[in-house]
Structure 1
Amino acid sequence: MKNTSNVLSKPAVLVVLSALLLAACGGKENGGGAAQGGAPQAPAVTVLTVKTEAVPMVAELPGRTSPYLIAELRPQVSGILTQRSFNEGSEVKAGQVLYRIDAAPYQAAYDSAKASLARAEANARVARLKAERHAGLVKIEAVSKQANDDAQATLQQAVAEVAAAKAALDKAKIDLDYTQLKSPIAGRIGRSAVTAGALVTANQAQTLATVQQLDPIYVDLSQSSAELLRMRREVESGRLQTNARGDVPVRLILEDGSEYAAEGRLALSEVTVDEGTGSVTLRARFPNADGVLLPGMYVRARLPQGTRNEAILVPHAAVSRDPLGNAVVMVVGAEDKVEARPVQAVQSIGPNWVVSGGLAGGERIIVEGLQKVRPGVQVQAQEAGSAPAPAPAASAAQ
Structure 2
Amino acid sequence: MSTSAGAAAPSATLPRVTGLWLTLFALAWFGYWMLVMLPGQFLIVKLASVLDPNDKVGIGSLLIILMAMVLVVAVPVVGWLCDRTRTRFGRRRLWALGGLITATVPFAFVGYQQSWQGAAVLLTLVGLGEAAVLVSLSAVIADRVPEDQRGRASAAMGLPQVFSLAIGMVIVTELVPEVGPSWLVIAVIAALCPVPFLITYRERPPSGDEPRPSPWRWHPTALRGYRDLGWAGLSRVLVNVGNLVGTTYLLFFLSDELRMPDPDGALMILILVYLAGCAVATWAGGLLTDRWRRRRALVAVCAGLQVVAALLLALLPTWEATLVAGVLLGVGYGAFLSVDQALLTDVLPDPETRARDLGIVNSAQHLPIAPLVGWAVLSVAGYTELYLVAAAIMAVGGIVVFRVKGVR
Normalised by the size of structure 1, how large is the TM-score? 0.17
More helix by share: 2
More strand by share: 1
Normalised by the size of structure 2, how large is the TM-score? 0.17
